A and B are shown apart, each in its own frame.
Chain A
Amino acid sequence: MAISALPARTLRRWALLLALGLLASAVRPEPAAGAAVEVLFLSPAPATPLFGTIDVAVNVRSDEPVVKVSFKVDGKSAGELKKPPFRVQLDVGQENVEHHIQVVATTLSGATALADRTSPAVVVNEEINVALRTLFVTVSGSDGKRVLDLTRDEFRVLDNGSEQKLVTFERGEVPFNAVLLLDTSESMRGARIAASRAGVHAFLGGMKDVDEASLVLFSDRLLAATPFHNDRKPLEAVLVKTPAEGGTAINDHLYLALKLLDGQVGRGAIVLFSDGTDVQSVLSMQEVLWKERRSQSLIYWLQLNEEGARRTSISSAWRDFAANDREFRDLQRAVIESGGRIEGIDSIAGVEGAFKEILSELREQYVLGFYPSNSRHDGKWHEVQIRIRDRQGLHVRARGGYVDY
C-alpha cells in the first residue's frame, strides 16, 4: 500500500519512532571500541525501517592505516572492503522485520572497532512494500565482450516508459549469493554428473570471500539443500555423495531456490543446470513465474543438450503435450525476464566453461537502484527498459520488469 494511504495514527507512530531514533543517536555517539580506531555510521539513518536494497556506509577514524572493514547483516557476512570509501549496497529483502547491521574495522596493528545499528520493523496493521527496485545489468559490445566503463549518467532507466532517477549505482565486484540448482536425475548419471561436479568446482573456486553459495540438488525430489557458504569444501562434499537417481522436477526446486534467496542479503543469482524437462513438479511454472516477478534474483539456465538434439514434445502422466510445452516456454520466460540467460551446452566438455562464464558475468555487472516514480502498488506489471546514452552497438540485458505489489 502507498505510504500516503496509511492511517494518520500509523504515520504518527512512524514519526515518533524516527524522532526517538534520531534523539537516541544525538545523545549517544556512535559506538567507538578501542582507543585508536572508531567506526561511525553514515548510512542507514538510525531507527529507520529497512527494506530492499540499502546502502551501508561508515567513516573510520584511526591513527594508523585501516586494513579492512567487514560488514555483517543479521549475523551473515555482507562484504569486506580494504580501502575507502567503506560503503556497500545490500538487499535486505522485503519482509517487515528488524535488521541488525554490524561493521568491524581492523587496523594494521590488529586493533578493531565495532559499530552496530539495529533498524526497527515498521509497526503497522498491514505490511508495506518498499518500492526501491534494483537492476543487475550486463552490458556487452558488438564483439560480445562486456563493457565495464559506463558511468551512472550514461544509463537511462525507463519504467513503463517514464524515465527514472537512479539513486544507487555500483559496478564490478558486488558480492552475490548464488544457488547452484543442479538436476541430479537418473539421466545425469556418469559423464554428465562428473561434468556438473567440475563446473560447480570451478564456480565455487572462483568465488570471492564475500560471495556465498548454496547447493540445491534435485531429481523428482529434493536430494540436498545446503546452507549458504563461502567454503567450497562442505558444498562439494554434498555433491560428491549424492547419487544421480529419479525423475525431474524443476519447477518446485526453482521456486525453493528463489525462496532461499529471499532470506539472503545482497545480490541473488540462481544457476540451474539440467538436461531435461520438468515432469514431476506439483507447482506449475506459472506459479514460479508469479514468484520470479516479485523477486530480484537472476536466473541462469545451463541447458545441457548434447549433440544439439532438438527438444521434442512429451506427454507425461502429469501433463499432456501442450501443457508440457507451455511449462518449457514459461521456464524460458522466467529466465529471460529475470535478466539471466539460457546457455545451451551441446557437449559435456562445455559444462565447466559455462559455469565459469556465468561467474565472470556476475563479476562484471552494473547494479542500478531506483524508486519507481509511478508506483501504485496495484499488482500490475511494470516493463523496465535500460538505454545507454550516446553509445551505439551495446547490448544491455537486465530484468525486464516487475510486479508493482
Chain B
Amino acid sequence: MWNEALRKRELAIRSFLTFAIVLAGALGLAGPGAVRADVPQPQDMGGRIDPATFDVPAIQKAYRKILARWATGGRSEAVNDLKTLEMGVVGADGKGREKLWKAELQAVRELEEAQHESLLPVMVLHHESYAAYRDLHNPYLSLHARNLTRSLAEVYAARGATEGAKISAARVLTSLGSYIQEASLTELAAELYARSLELDPVNEVALLGLGALFEKSGRYPPAVTYLTRLLKAHPAQAEGKLRLALSIERDTGVIHGGTTGSGNPVEVKRLLRELISGDSPGWVRNLAYEELGVRYARDGEFEKAEVLLKEGVAKFPNDPRLYIELASILERRGQPGAASRLAEKAGSLPVTHEESARFRYSRWAPEALFAMRASLRETSDARLALLSQALGTGKAAS
C-alpha cells in the first residue's frame, strides 16, 4: 500500500518536473519583461535589494549579483542576501512568490544555456537557503526554496551528460530530504529519497533515510527492504545494520517492549553481535550491547545477558543506562543486593551533557549525511568558476 503511494508520488514528481521544464522554457521564450516606468526600481544596497522596490528584471539583477557573490566564495553573504531578496519579494502573505519563481527560474535557464554545469552550484545555494529558512517560520519561502532546488536538480540530472550529474542531483535531493525528515515531514522526505534512488540506486543516505523513516513510522517491511539494500551496497554501514536488526524483529511480530512472537531472533542477535565485535561507531556499539542484552533477557537467557552487559559496562563505564539494565538483569537472577549497588553506581556517575546513544538513534543525523554534504559542496565548489563564466563575470573555465 505504501509502495503504491510512493509510485503515485513518483508520477507526481514527474509531472512537477515536466511543469518546471515547460515553465522554464516558456519563460525563455518570453524573454525578460520590460521595465515599467511606474514601478519603483530596486535600490542597490551594496549588492542587496530594497524589498519595497522590485519587478522581475530588478529581481533578476539582484539575483545575479547574489549568484556572483556565491561564485566568488562569499558563501554566507550570498545566503543572507538571497534571504533578504526572497523575503522581500515573497512577503509575509506569500503574494510575490510567483513573481520570484519566474524571475529566478528565467535567470537560471539563461545560465544553464550558457553553461550546464553552472546549475550545480546554483542548486546547492538554494538547498542551503532552504536550510536557513527552516527557522523563519515563513512557509512560502521554505516552499519556494524547496521547489526550486528540486526543479534545478531534475533539470541538472535530465540534461547532464554524465552519471556524475545524476549522482550530484541525487545528493542534493537526498540532502533536501534529510532536512525535511528532521522536520518530521515523513512522506515528503520519503518522496525525495525515492526519487534520489532513481537517479542513484546506491545512495547511502537515501537508503538509510528511507529505512529510518519507515522504521520510525512503524512500517517495518519496507524498512527491512531498504536497509537490506543499503547493507548490500554498503556492508560497513553500522547504523544501517543496527536499524536492520531491530526492524527485522519488529517486521516479524516481535515488538520492542511488548509481547514476543516468533521473529527471527537468531539473525537479530547475529547482527547485534557483529556490531559489538566490529569497529562500529561508539554510540552504535553501545546500543548493540543494550539491545542484545534486552533480547537475551527476553528469551530467558539471563546468564548471557549478565555476561554481555558486564562487558558493556567495562567498555562504556560512564553510561548509567547499562548499569540500570544490568541491575534489572541481576535482580531477575535473584541478586537484589548487587542490583542495588549497580543502581547506586548509576546514580553516582559523572553527569554528561552529551546526548545519549538512544536519543542519537531517535533523531536523524547520520555521519554519512554530513560526509555526503561535504562531498556535494566540494563538487559544487569545483564548478564555481563555471558559474562565474556563465554569469559573464569570470574568466572562461575549462
Contact = CB atoms under 8 A, between A and B. Distances in A.
A320 B358 contact: no
Interface of B: 212, 215-218, 220, 250, 255-258, 290-291, 293-294, 297, 320-321, 324-325, 327-328, 331-332, 334, 336-337, 339-340, 343-344, 346-349, 351-353, 355-356, 358-359, 361-362
Interface string A269-312: 00000000001111111110011000000000000000000000
Contact residue range for chain A? 35 or more
A262 interface: yes
B257 A291 contact: no
A42 interface: no
A259 B359 contact: no
A280 B362 contact: yes
A326 interface: yes
A100 to B, nearest CB: 16
B259 to A, nearest CB: 8
Nearest to B217: A315
A253 B321 CA distance: 9
Contacts of B339: 259, 262
A282 B218 contact: no
Q: Which 9 pairs from chain A and chain B are nearest by CB?
A: A320-B218, A225-B347, A284-B257, A259-B343, A220-B359, A221-B356, A280-B358, A315-B218, A222-B320
Interface string A247-262: 1010011011001101
A317 B216 contact: yes
B348 to A, nearest CB: 7
Contact of A317 (B291, B351, B355, B362): B362
A109 B269 CA distance: 70
Contact of A246 (B215, B328, B343, B356): B356
Contact of A291 (B328, B348, B355, B356): B328
Contacts of B328: 255, 283, 287, 291
Interface of A: 94-95, 97, 127, 216, 219-225, 243, 245-247, 249, 252-253, 255-256, 259-260, 262-263, 279-287, 290-291, 315-323, 326-327
Contacts of A249: 321, 356, 358
B346 A319 contact: no
Given A260-B347, A284-B256, A323-B255, A255 B337 contact: no
Contacts of A322: 218, 255, 258
A291 B331 contact: yes
A262 B327 CA distance: 12
A221 B352 contact: yes
Given A94-B336, A224-B351, A249-B358, A260 B324 contact: no
A223 B212 CA distance: 28
Q: Which of A95, A263, A287 has most B Cβ within 10 Å?
A: A287
Contacts of B215: 317
B347 A216 contact: yes
Contacts of B256: 284, 318-319, 323
15 contacts: A95-B337, A220-B358, A243-B353, A246-B359, A247-B356, A256-B346, A256-B347, A259-B331, A260-B343, A280-B359, A280-B362, A282-B291, A282-B294, A291-B331, A323-B256
Contacts of B332: 290
Given A260-B347, A283-B325, A321 B218 contact: yes
Contacts of A219: 359
Contact of A225 (B217, B250, B321, B346): B346
Contacts of A260: 340, 343-344, 347
A245 B353 contact: yes
A243 B353 CA distance: 9
Contacts of A256: 320, 324, 327, 343, 346-347
Given A255-B328, A259-B327, A281-B257, 18 more contacts: A95-B340, A221-B352, A223-B351, A225-B348, A249-B321, A249-B358, A252-B321, A256-B346, A256-B347, A263-B340, A263-B344, A282-B358, A284-B257, A284-B258, A291-B331, A315-B216, A319-B256, A319-B257
